[in-house]
Structure 1
Amino acid sequence: MPLLFPNLRISQVFGANTDVGKTLLTTALLRATAAQYTNETETSSASGPSRKRVFYLKPVSTGPDEESDVNFVERYAAPYQDVVTTKNLYQYREPMSPHLAAQLAPELPFPSSNDELVDGVERYARTSQQRLGGKRGAMFIETAGGVHSPSLHPPHTQSTFLRALRLPSVLIASPHLGGISTTVSSYESLIIRGYTISAVLCLHHSYYRNHSFLRQYFQDRGIRFFTVRPPPKKHGTVLEDTVRLNQWYADVEQLSSEGESGGVIRDAALWLEEDHDARIQELEGMPERTLKTIWWPFTQHDLVNKREDVMVVDSAFQDNFDAYYAKAPVKSNDSMLNSYMDGSASWFTQSHGHAAEPLTIAAASAAGRYGHVLFPSGTNKPALDLAEKLVSTVGAGWAERVFYSDNGSTAVEVALKMALRASARRYGWTGELGGDVGIIGLRGGYHGDTIGAMDAAEASSYNTAVDWYKGRGHWFSPPTVQYIRGVPTIRSTSPDSWDPLPSSLAPASSTSDSWEIAFSDLQDVYNVSDRLTSPLATYYRNHIRSTLERLAGEGRRFGALILEPICLGAGGMAFVDPLFQACLVEVVRAKYSSESVSSKDRPSSEWCGLPVIYDEVFSGLNRFGYLAASSVLSHPPDISTYAKILTGGLLPLAATLASKSIFEAFLSSSKRDALLHGHSYTAHPVGCAVALRAIEMTEGMEWKTEKELWGVGGKDNVGRWSFWDKGFVMSLSGVKGVKGVMAMGTVLGIELDVADGGYTSHAALDFLTDLRKEIVFSPKGEFSSFQIHSRPLGNVVYLMTSLYTSPSVMRAMEEVLGKKFRERVTS
C-alpha cells in the first residue's frame, strides 16, 4: 500500500468544492513539471514509452467522455504529449455523484469495494514508477468533486477511502463566495484524517479576493500558498477558447500572480519536488536522530544500536502501519515504505484499527469543546457518560463507581489501594502493620511497571532489576490451556507441588508435579458453570485451600486477590484454566470470610473474604471475544481495571471500577480517609469521549463469520471463538518444535518448544525476524500486500488483530504462518 519512491513524486489533488479549478490547475502543475523534465538532458530514445515521465490519473470520473478530465488534460498538455501519459480507472457518463452515476450505468466496470479502487490506484502508480527506468518522474492523482464527495461505495467519502494511501496532497482552494469557509473546512477535514498538505493553490478573484485571507491562514500553519491568475472567460468558438486557454497556461508558467516574471505555477511545481525530497531526507535521518535521543522501553540499547535496527513508522491505518527500515540504501525503483500488519496491535492497545475515523472525530470534537478541565468535585459530559456506560456494561450487576487514571499500571495501583484499605478497615489493620500485608495472585501475572504494581507480581525479568522491588504476596502456578497435538489440553505448571490427581482424572503419564488433561472440545473447557461441580474443581479447591492454610501457619497475611482473567498477557500469552481462577475466587472469598469478626449479618452485596481484583487492562472489552471476564468465570470481581483498548487504541486512559462496599470503605468525616490518589489529567474529556465512542462502535457487533469457524452460534450464541481459524490452530499445534498453541478472540499465542524458554529467550525473536521478510498476498485482490510485524515474548510468538480484521486477511496470514513453521522444521 505505501507509495514513496525516491524517483517518482506523487501528489494527490483535492478540491475544496466542485468548480474551483481543480482540473485546470492540476493540468498547469502537470505542464510545468513536464517542461522541467523536457529541458533536462535525455539519455533515452527520442520517443516512445521510455520518455513518459509525468503521469496523470483520475480514479473516478463522471460526465460524457468528451468532457472528461482526462480528455481536458490530454488536450491542454498536448505540447508535452511525448512526456505526459494519462489514465482513467472508472468513467461513468452521467455528470453526478460517483455512486449515483455508477448505478445508472450497470453495464460499465464497477469495483467490488472501495479497497479495490484504492488497489487500482496503487497498481497504476507502481507500474508507472517501473516505466521510469530509474529516471525522475511525477504523478498527479486528481480526486473527484470536493473532499467529501461520495465514494463508489457509500457511506464513505473519498477522503476516507483514499486515506489508505496517505499521499501528499495539494488542496485547490475555492475563489468563490463562501470559498474561505469551504476551503478551511476541507483543510481541517483532511488534517483530521491524517493527510499531509504539501501546498494550497487558489485562483485569483478580483472581487471576493479569498486568496488574501487564505494566504495568511495557511502560511501561519507552515503550508505554502500560491495564488494563480484566473483563466480567460469563455466566449467565441471552441477553437478560440482553446487558443486563449493555451496562452493562459503559457503565461502562468512564466508569471507570478501579480504579473511579474517569476512563474507561480513553475514555483509551485518546483516546491512539490523540494517537498518530496525533504520528506525522504527526514525519513532517512530519523534513525540516527532517534539513536541519539530516545530511551526505548523494554529495550537493551547495547543490542539495538544501529540505523537498520530502527523502524520508522511513517503512518498507520486500519490493521497496518507503513514503516521505513534503514537496512540499506533504497533503490530508485523500490518504495521506501513497507506495509506491516501490526501483529502486536501496537503493544496491546489497538482494537478498532489505526486512525479509525469515528474515534479521531470524537477526539477532535472533545478537544475543541474542552481541551482538559480539572475533575475533583466536578464533572464533564464525556467523563460522566463513559462512567455510566462502564457501570452498565463491564460493571453490570456489581460495580457502582468509576475512578479514572491514565494507564493500566496506575489503574492497578488504584485498585490495590482500594482493596487494601477495605481489608484494613474490616480486619483492623492500621498504619505500619498494613505495610506487611501481601496479595494473592498468579505466577506469570503482570500488572504494570510502577512500583506498587510491580510488587503485586512475582520476581521476574520485569522487576528484579528494580532496586525498590519487594514482592508482596504469594503467587499460585495456574494450570494452562493449549491445543497440544491438535487436542485442547489443560496442563499443570511448576513450581507448585500438586497432590496426585484423582484416579478418575489422572492420565497414565501424570505425576504429582506434571499432568495433562485432554478435552474433546474447547467449549467444554470454558463451560465453567458446569465444571464447578466436577472432580477437578474439588481438586483445585483442595490445592488452593491447603496452600493458603500453610501460608497462614507461616504468619503470612493477605489483603486482596488480583487476577489477570483468562490470559496472562505479558507473562507469555498463557491461557489459564478458567476453572482454576473461578475456584481461587471462591476459596479466597469463603476462607477469609470465616475469619472476619464482622462477617455476621453482612449484606450479600458486600465483598467477602478478601476483595477480588480483575486486572482486565489487557484482556477486557472484547479482546478475547467477551466484554468482561465475569461472564466467563461465573464470578464478578469487587474491583476491575480497564485501559489499553478502552479508547480503541487512540489515547491513554484507564478506569478502575469498584463495588458499593469498596467505595464505602473510604467514607468518613476526615479527608485523610479519602482515596488520595489522582493526577492532573484525571478524566481527560478527550480520552473519555473517545472511549465512549469506541465502546459504542462494538455494541451490536456479532462476528458471525468468526464464530462459525469455532462452531459457536445457534440460539444461545455462547462459547469461545477466535478470528483465527480453529483448523489452523489445531494443525499448527501438531508441528514439530511447537509446544502448544492457543487462540481466543483477536489473540494467537504459539509456544515454541526450546530449551531456553522464558522471557529472555531469543527463539520467538528469531522466528519473527524471519517471518517479517515474507509478503502476504491476497489471491483475489481483496487487500494490498503486506508483511507481518510483532514483538516476541521470549519463546512465545504471538499475533493479535483488531476487532475489524477481515476474514480474507486472516486466512492469508494463516497460510504464511503455516508455511514458515513447516520450513522451520525442515531447515
Structure 2
Amino acid sequence: MPLLFPKLPVHQVFGANTDVGKTLLTTALIRSAASRMQGDGKIFYLKPVSTGPESDSDEAFVRRHTSPYSHIVNTRCLYQYREPMSPHLAAQLAPDLPFPKSNDVLARGVQDYIRAASLSGPGHVFVETAGGVHSPALHPPHTQASSLRALRLPAILIASPHLGGISTTLSSYESLLLRGYDVAAVLCLHDAYYRNDDFLRPYFTERGIGFWDVARPPEKRGTVDEDAARLGEWYASVEAEVDGEEGGGVGGAVKHLEESHDARVKRIEGMPRRTLDTVWWPFTQHGLVNREDQVMVIDSAHGDHFDAYYAQASMAPDSSAETEGGEQESLLEPYFDGAASWFTQSHGHASEPLTLAAAAAAGRYGHVLFPSGTHAPALELAEKLRSTVGKGWADRVFYSDNGSTGIEVALKMALRASGRRYGWEGEIGGDVGVLGLRGGYHGDTIGAMDATPASTFNTAVDWYKGRGHWFSPPAVLVQNGVATVSTTAPDSWAPLPSSTPTKDGWEFSFGSLGAVYDLTARRASPMATYYCQHIRSTLERLVSEGHQFGALVLEPTCLGAGGMVFVDPLFQACLVDVVRASADLFSGEPDGKAYDAALADLGERDSAAWQGVPVIYDEVFSGLHRFGYHSAASVLGTTPDISVYAKILTGGLLPLSATLASRSIFDAFLSERKVDALLHGHSYTANPIGCAVALKALEMIADAEDANTWAAPKADWATERWSFWRKAFLDDVSRANGVRGAMAMGTVLAIELQDAEADYASHVAQAFLDRLRAQRVDGFRIHSRPLGNVVYIMTSLFTPEGTVRAMEAAILRELK
C-alpha cells in the first residue's frame, strides 16, 4: 500500500519512547508547515490509534494549538479508546467501540485518509504513532513499527531528551532501519543538563539525517489560560526559528522534509532513464525493452507486493500522476509479485523474522571462510536439511551460492561417482552425458546449460554442447475440466491402449487430478509397464549407438523455466526406476535378465547406495513447499542420490544453495590424495547470514505446518496434492476460450494459452499479462513474467486468502 504524491509530503512520526514530546513537536511541525503554505493547500494530522480521554487526546491537543491555522489544518483520529494504556489492552476494555479486525485494516484506514488528503492539492500529512517505536499495535505481536510497515511512510523520529535517551533513540532508529523505513529527520527537545543532542547530532548528521534540537516549552504554571498563552508564544517562536546549537525551532526541519520529498520524487522519476543507460538486464532483449515506460522502478517491497513506479505512458489513464482536475495520484502502486521474484519468494518480501535473522548473523559473523571449519548456522542448517528433505538417504550437505552452481556441484559429484564405477575416472575431454527431460532447465552456468537440450536459453552460447539425451515427458494438464496426461514430440511413442491419438502421440484422461498423483495405484497399472518399456528401449538404443551416461537429472513434478510443464509423476518415477535398474547398460554389458531382476528388487534397495547412475533431483524451484510438499520424494515415492535446494531455501531473502548427497556419493571422493577431493568451492560458501536466514525460513514453514495454517486450501482440494488456488477456479480457467489447459499445485498457477507459436518466442502470454496488469484488483495490480504462451502466477506460502480470491476473479474477467 505505497503512497507517494508529488506535491504532498507524507511523514510518519515515531517516538523513541513515551513522554518525549512527540505530540508537542508534531504540532510545531504542523504550524511551521502551515506558515510556509502559500495559496491553496492544507495540512493534515492523523492519529491512527489513541488511548485515554478524548478531551486529553493527542488529536484534541493538536487541534487546540493549531487554531491560528484552523482554516488549513485538518485533524482526525481513527480509533480512540478511553483507558490510558497500551492500545491492545485499551481496546479490549472498550468492546462497545469500533475495532479493526486486523492491523492491515488499520493500515488501510491510514492509506484511505492520505488518499483523501491528496485531493486537496499541495500540503503536508503527518501521521503520529502511539507510544514508542515498539509500543504494541492493536493486534499483538505486532508493534507500531511493523503494523504500518506496508505503507513505508518516511519517518520522523522524536528523540528522547531524558537520562538513557541516547540509548532508546539509537535503538529506535535501528529498529526503523531494520524494517526498511527511511528516517527523514530526527527532532529532540533541548535539555541543558543531559545534553543528549551533543551525542545525537553528529551521530545522525554523519549518516546524512537532519537533526534538530528544539527549545523546550515553558513549564506549566498559573491558570490554564495563562499556560496556554505561554505555550502559544513558544509555538510562535519555534515554528519559524531556525535550528540553533542551544535549542532552536523546527522551521529548518520542515524545509528539509519538503526538499527530501522533492528529491525522492525526482530520483524515482529519473531512475528509468538512468537504468536504460547503465544496466544490462538478464533474459532481456534491449532492442525491444528500451523505453522509460517499460521500466518498473521498485521503490520497496513488503509481503507479496512491490511498491513500484511506472512512467505514465505504459499504464491505464487512471494511473497518471495528476488528473485533469488537478487531483494527485500516487506515483507508487502495489503490484502483486506474481513471478515470486523469479521463483525465489516464499515468505513475503521484507519478512521481519528473516530480516532479524540476517541482521543477527551479520552482526555476529559477517562472512567467514568455511573449508576445514564450521559455524553454528551452517552446521545446524546441514543437520536440519538431513533430517527433513534428506531424511533416510542424505549423508552430507555441500553449500554453494545459487541454484545453478548447486547443480554444477551435483553434476561433478554424480559424474565422478559414475566414472570411478564404470572406468572413465579422470578422463579429460570425455564425452559422458546425462539423462534428463526435454524442457528442463538447470541454470545458466556452462555445466548446468550442457545438462539441458538446445533451447532459447543456450543455443546462442558458443561453448554450449548439450551433453546427453532428454526424454520428452508426458505432461499433466486440466483441459475443459478434465485431468489429462499427454505426450509430446519429438519422442516416438507407441500407441497407449485406451488413449486418444494426437498429432504428437496420445492423450489419456483421468477422473481427477488426485488420480494422476496416486502413484500407489498407478505403479501397478499398464501405463507404468508402458513407460518402463519405452524408457528401457530408448536407453538400449542410445547405448548401442555408443552413448555413455553418468547421471539422471530431473526437475521433479514441474519444469519451471521450461514452460511450467507439470510432468506425469508416474513417468518420472518410472524413469528413476529404469535408470537404477539399468547398470548393465551403463557398464557396457547389456543383460535383460539382470535388468528385470534389478527392477524387481528396487523396493528393497539401500537408499544410501546409488544404482545405475546417480539420480539428481533439481528442487531449486520446486522444493520446500513451493508445490505443497517438502520434497519430491513424497510425490515420486523414491528418494534421490543427490538433491539441490536454493531460492525458497532462504525464503527468497538471500542467495544460498545446498547440494545434499548420499553416503555412497560422498565415499567416491575419499582417498589419501588431495586431487581426489571435490575441488569445487565459492568464496561465500556456507555464508553465515544465508544459513541463519535459511534456518529461520525452514522454522517458519515447520511452524505453519504444525499450526495447520493451510487447512482451508487442503480441505478445498481434499487430496494430498493441493493448491492455494481453488479447485473450482482451475476448472473454470481450463474451460475458458483461448486456453489450451491449466494446472495448479501449491503456490503455482499455470495457464497455457492457445497459440500456433507455442514456445518461449510466443507473445500471447505477455499480451495477457499486460492487460491483467492494467486492472486494479482490490487496491493492487498483478505483475508477472511470461514463459512464451504460458501465464504463471505464484503466491507465497503466506498470501492472504482474500488476495488469492481477488486475483482469481481478475484472471477470469480477463479470460472472458
Q: TM-score, normalised by structure 1?
A: 0.94
Query: Which sections of structure 1, spanning at least 5 residues, go unmatched?
Result: 43-50, 713-718, 778-784, 823-827
User: Distance in 2 between the 1:182 and 1:240 partners?
Assistant: 34
Aligned residue in 2 for 1:716 = none
Taking the aligned partners of 1:683 and 1:327, their CA distance within structure 2 comes to 44
Say whether 1:140 aligns with 2:121. Answer: no
The sequence identity of aligned pairs, in percent, is 66
Matched letter for residue 725 of structure 1 = R
Report the count of equivalent residues. 790
Q: Does 1:711 align with 2:718?
A: yes
Distance 1:604 1:196, change over 3 A: closer
User: Which shows bigger deviation, 405-414 or 234-243?
Assistant: 234-243
Letter in structure 2 aligned against 1:349:
T
For residues 749 and 464 of structure 1, the distance between their equivalents in structure 2, rounded to whole angstroms, comes to 26
Distance in 1 (CA, whole Å) between partners of 2:334 and 2:653 is 20
Task: Pick the aligned partner of 2:664 from 661, 665, 690.
Answer: 661
Larger deviation, residues 444-453 vs 603-612:
603-612
**Superposition deviation, residue 432 in structure 1:** 3.1
1:238-280 CA-to-partner distances (Å, cap 9, x unmatched) read 11211111111111123345489x9631111111110110000
Change (3 A) 1:673 1:690: same
Match of 2:316 in 1: none
**Matching residue of 2:257:** 272
Q: CA deviation at 1:529?
A: 2.3
- Structure-2 residue corresponding to 1:238: 224
For residues 319-718 of structure 1, what are the structure 2 equivalents within 5 Å? 319-328=304-313, 330-331=321-322, 333-432=328-427, 435-502=430-497, 506-507=498-499, 509-510=500-501, 513-592=504-583, 596=587, 605-700=608-703, 701=705, 702=708, 703-712=710-719
Structure 2 Cα separation of the partners of residues 137 and 257 of structure 1: 22
- How far residue 232 of structure 1 moved from its aligned partner, in angstroms, is 1.0
Q: Deviations over 1:635-658 (max 9, x none)?
A: 100000000111001000000000
Q: Which amino acid aligns with 1:317?
A: H
Following superposition, the deviation at residue 513 of structure 1 comes to 4.1
Query: Deviation per CA, 1:541-584, whole angstroms, max 9, x where unpaired?
Result: 00000000000110000000000000000010000000000000
Q: What are the Cα deviations for residues 200-225 of structure 1, in whole angstroms up to 9, with x where unaligned?
A: 00111111111110011111111111
Letter in 2 for 1:694: A
Find out whether 1:744 has 2:745 as its counterpart. yes
In the other structure, the counterpart of 2:36 is 36
Point out the more displaced range, 240-249 or 371-380. Answer: 240-249
Contact 2:293 2:312 in 1 (8 A): yes
CA distance in 1, matches of 2:492, 2:245: 90
CA-to-aligned-CA distance 1:381-407 (integer Å, 9 cap, x gap) = 000010000000000000010000000
Q: Decide whether the 8 Å contact of 2:418 with 2:613 is kept in 1.
A: yes
1:130-169 alignment, distance < 5 Å: 130=119, 132=120, 135-169=121-155
2:97 to 102, 108, 112: 108
1:218-233 pair list within 5 angstroms: 218-233=204-219
Q: Say if 1:501 and 1:512, in contact at 8 Å, map to a contact too.
A: no
What secondary structure, in the 3-state scheme, does the structure 2 residue paired with 1:359 have?
A: helix
2:4 is matched with which residue?
4
Asked if 1:86 is matched to 2:86, the reply is no
Equivalent position amino acid for 1:288 in 2? R
TM-aligned CA deviation for residue 801 of structure 1:
0.5
Aligned twin of 2:317: none
Q: Does structure 2 retain, via aligned residues, the 8 Å contact 1:498–1:512? A: no
Q: Which runs of 4+ in 1 moved over 4 A?
A: 593-604
Deviation at 1:430, TM superposition (A): 2.9
Q: Cα distance 1:87–1:429, how it changes in 2: closer, same or farther (>3 A)?
A: same
1:750 partner SS: strand
Per-residue deviation, 1:676: 0.3
Quote the Cα distance in structure 1 between the aligned partners of 2:748 and 2:277.
35
Q: For the Cα contact (< 8 Å) 1:436–1:557, is it kept in 2?
A: yes
CA contact (8 A) 1:438 1:559 kept: yes
Tell me by how many angstroms 1:155 deviates: 0.9
Matched position secondary structure for 2:9: strand
Residue 432 of structure 1 aligns to a residue whose secondary structure is coil
CA distance in 2, matches of 1:594, 1:326: 60
Q: Separation in 2 of the partners of 1:35 and 1:96? A: 34
Counterparts of residues 112-261 of structure 1 (less than 5 Å): 112-130=101-119, 132=120, 135-258=121-244
**Alignment-mate amino acid for residue 762 of structure 2:** S
* Structure 1 residue 422, shift from structure 2 partner: 0.2
Do the aligned partners of 2:41 and 2:122 also contact (CA within 8 Å) in 1? no
Does the aligned pair in 2 maintain the 1:350–1:802 contact within 8 Å? yes
> 1:361-415, CA deviations, whole angstroms, 9 ceiling, x for partnerless residues?
0000000000000000000100001000000000000001000000000000000
C-alpha deviations, 1:78-110, integer Å up to 9, x for none? Answer: 111111010000001111000000111110111
Give the partner amino acid of 2:10. I
Describe the superposition over 1:617-648 as per-residue Cα deviations: whole angstroms up to 9, x where unpaired: 00000000000000110010000000011100
Residue segments in structure 2 that go unaligned for 5+ positions in a row: 314-319
CA distance in 2: counterparts of 1:529 and 1:660, whole angstroms? 28
Separation of aligned partners in 2, 1:31 and 1:188: 29
Query: Letter of the aligned partner of 2:34 in structure 1?
Result: A
**Structure 2 counterpart of 1:451, one-letter code:** I
Q: Structure 2 vs 1, CA of residues 514 and 175 (structure 1 numbering), >3 Å: closer, same or farther?
A: same
Match of 1:23 in 2: 23
User: Which residue identity is paired with 2:682?
Assistant: H
**Are 1:424 and 1:434, in contact at CA under 8 Å, matched by a contact in 2?**
no
Separation of aligned partners in 2, 1:736 and 1:251: 70
Amino acid corresponding to residue 73 of structure 2 in structure 1: V
Deviation at 1:431, TM superposition (A): 3.1
8 A contact 1:497–1:512 mirrored in 2:
no
Match of 1:763 in 2: 764
Deviations 1:176-217 (A, max 9, x none): 000000000000000000000000001111111111100111
The counterpart of 2:802, out of the listed 793, 805, 808, is 808
* In 2: Cα distance, 1:552 partner to 1:231 partner: 90
For residues 325 and 98 of structure 1, what CA distance do their matches in structure 2 show?
A: 38
TM-score (norm. length: structure 2): 0.95
- Output the CA distance in 2 between the equivalents of 1:330 and 1:128: 15
For residues 375 and 322 of structure 1, the distance between their equivalents in structure 2, rounded to whole angstroms, comes to 37
Counterparts of 1:636 and 1:425, CA distance in 2: 22
Q: Report Cα offsets for 1:665-712 as digits up to 9, x if no partner.
A: 000000000000001100000000000000000104231011111123
> Do 2:548 and 2:586's aligned partners in 1 also have CA atoms closer than 8 Å?
no
Q: Secondary structure at the match of 1:19?
A: coil
Please, which moves more after superposition, 470-479 or 601-610? 601-610
Instruction: Name 1:281's counterpart in structure 2.
Output: 266
Give, in whole Å, the separation in 2 of the partners of 1:182 and 1:597.
73
CA deviations on 1:14-71 (whole Å, 9 max, x unpaired) are: 000000000000000000000111xx2x3xxxxxxxx660000000000111110011
Please give the secondary structure, in 2, of the residue aligned with 1:8: coil
The CA distance in 2 between the partners of 1:801 and 1:110, in whole Å, is: 29
SS in 2 for 1:683: coil
